[in-house]
Amino acid sequence: MLAPPGPREVEVTVAAAGVCHSDLHVTTGEWEVPIPTVLGHEGSGVVSAVGKDVTSLEVGDHVVLSWVANCGSCRQCTAGRPVQCSTYAEVISPNGVLFDGTSRLSVGGLPAYHYLGVSSFAEKVVVPDSGAVKVRKDAPLQDIALLGCGVATGMGAVTNTAQVPTGATVAIIGCGGVGLSCVQAAKRAGAARIVAVDIVQSKLDLAVRLGATDTVNTAGGSDPAADVRDVVPDGFDYVFDAIGRVTTTETAISLLGLGGAAVIVGMPPTGSSARFDPLALAAADQRILGCNYGSIVPHRDIPLLVDEVMSGGIELGPLISGRRPLSDAAAALDDLSSGGALRQLLIPELASATS
């Protein structure tokens, strides 16, 4: 059951929900969340009801869901860093609730929980008004669901977190929805070398189509770092870990050249520790940058990304490997886990073949 929106909350009828690796982290047990939870944190839709005191949205607005709703008044929010909102971090994300500390979801009269304040694997969601970003109505509503997480995270990592300059040498480890978005942004930034790294050849082929200058398939290789270093022996200006395993983070740091920066975009399991040589890092003037949600400002950046989609600057089509009914959610998570699928969209409007 979904309760109606409370004050400063809106109900959104979901057009599409993207299946992201951060949903998989929950089903594999790498991240713990309150259960039962409704997964999904990437999505788009149409506002179908508004709660009291909502002034920024009205019924009929097209929105992309942001998985960091922000309170607007904490120190980080007032400093212009809404994805670091401390109220969100203290209330919403660990407890599976909305800003007032309660959930709008229930099963059999008992509470169920929101995932990252979104829970988009559903026909409808109720989210804080700051978690729904109004966008232009002529954009393809299903496809722009991807701007809510994968594309914003990958492109933001390059543009906001790292601020990659023209002529830089870049490596991107992992070419899923997030990594391929890093590739597109690195191309847009004018990077001289964009080396895409993955263990699935079809993902590397797509990376080339989206702007990679070189690819390295590390499947079966005994030393992935050595294989990538062969391509740019001086080391890279920027390396993006778009997977977030301890091994890929360590590889990213080891691939840096003088003055290089490793950007940790993918999220590892809770409690992980990676090793690096601090003396070598300091001596080479290198940096390790954490990147949450592409360091974006959702209400500023998501509409800009929509504009870029409409002008042809960003391609979403190649990132979408399937459109499936909502009842396929578990199978879609399995397909992402096996490495075969890219971004799959769950579309509530599509009826299941078996239903």
- Interface residue list for Zn ion (CB under 5 A): 20, 22, 70-71, 74, 77, 85, 87, 149
Q: Which is nearer to Zn ion, 87 or 95 (CB)?
A: 87
DSSP, collapsed to helix, strand or coil, labels residue 127 as strand
- In 19-165, at which residue ranges do the beta strands (DSSP E only) sit? 37-38, 42-50, 62-65, 105-107, 110-114, 124-128, 132-135
* Residue among 47 and 242 whose Cβ is closer to ligand APR: 242
CB of 83 to ligand APR, least distance (A): 13
**Is 337 a residue of the active site?**
no
**Residues 6+ positions from 167 with CB-CB distance below 8 Å:** 190, 191, 192
C-beta of 96 vs 150, nearer to ligand APR: 150
Q: Taking the complex as a whole, how short is the minimal distance between the CB of residue 214 and ligand APR, in angstroms?
A: 14
Q: Which is nearer to ligand APR, 96 or 154 (CB)?
A: 154
Look at residue 77 and give the partner it binds from Zn ion, ligand APR, none, a contact being a CB closer than 5 to 8 Å depending on partner kind.
Answer: Zn ion
Q: Check if the beta carbon of residue 52 is closer than 8 Å to that of residue 269.
A: no
- Per annotation, catalytic residue among 21, 25, 62, 114: 25
> Minimal distance in Å, beta carbon 179 to Zn ion?
12
Catalytic residue among 85, 149, 175, 182: 149
178 binds, among Zn ion, ligand APR, none (CB under 5 to 8 A by kind): ligand APR
Q: Which CB, 92 or 126, lies closer to ligand APR?
A: 92
Is 114 designated active site? no
Q: Is 25 annotated as catalytic?
A: yes
Q: Minimum distance between the CB of residue 353 and Zn ion, rounded to whole angstroms?
A: 27
The entry of Zn ion, ligand APR, none near residue 85 (CB within 5 to 8 angstroms by kind) is Zn ion
CB of 153 to Zn ion, least distance (A): 6
Residues that bind ligand APR (CB under 6 A): 20-22, 25, 150, 153, 173-179, 197-200, 203, 218, 242-244, 248, 265-267, 336, 339
Closer residue to ligand APR, CB minimum distance, 307 or 315: 315
Strand locations in the chain, DSSP E? Answer: 9-18, 37-38, 42-50, 62-65, 105-107, 110-114, 124-128, 132-135, 169-173, 193-198, 214-217, 236-241, 256-264, 287-290, 320-325, 343-347
CB 261 within 8 A of CB 170: no
Q: What residues contact residue 279 under an 8 Å CB cut-off, 6+ apart?
A: none
* Binding partner selected for residue 242 from Zn ion, ligand APR, none, CB under the kind-specific 5 to 8 Å limit: ligand APR
Provide DSSP, 265-291: -SPPPTT------HHHHHHTT-EEEE-
| CA nearest to 91, candidates 52, 149, 130, 50 | 130
- CA-based end-to-end distance of the chain: 20
Beta-bridge partner residues of 50: 10
Catalytic residue among 21, 22, 74, 295: 22
Rounded distance between C-alpha atoms, residue 105 and residue 161, angstroms: 34
Active-site residue set: 20, 22, 25, 41, 149
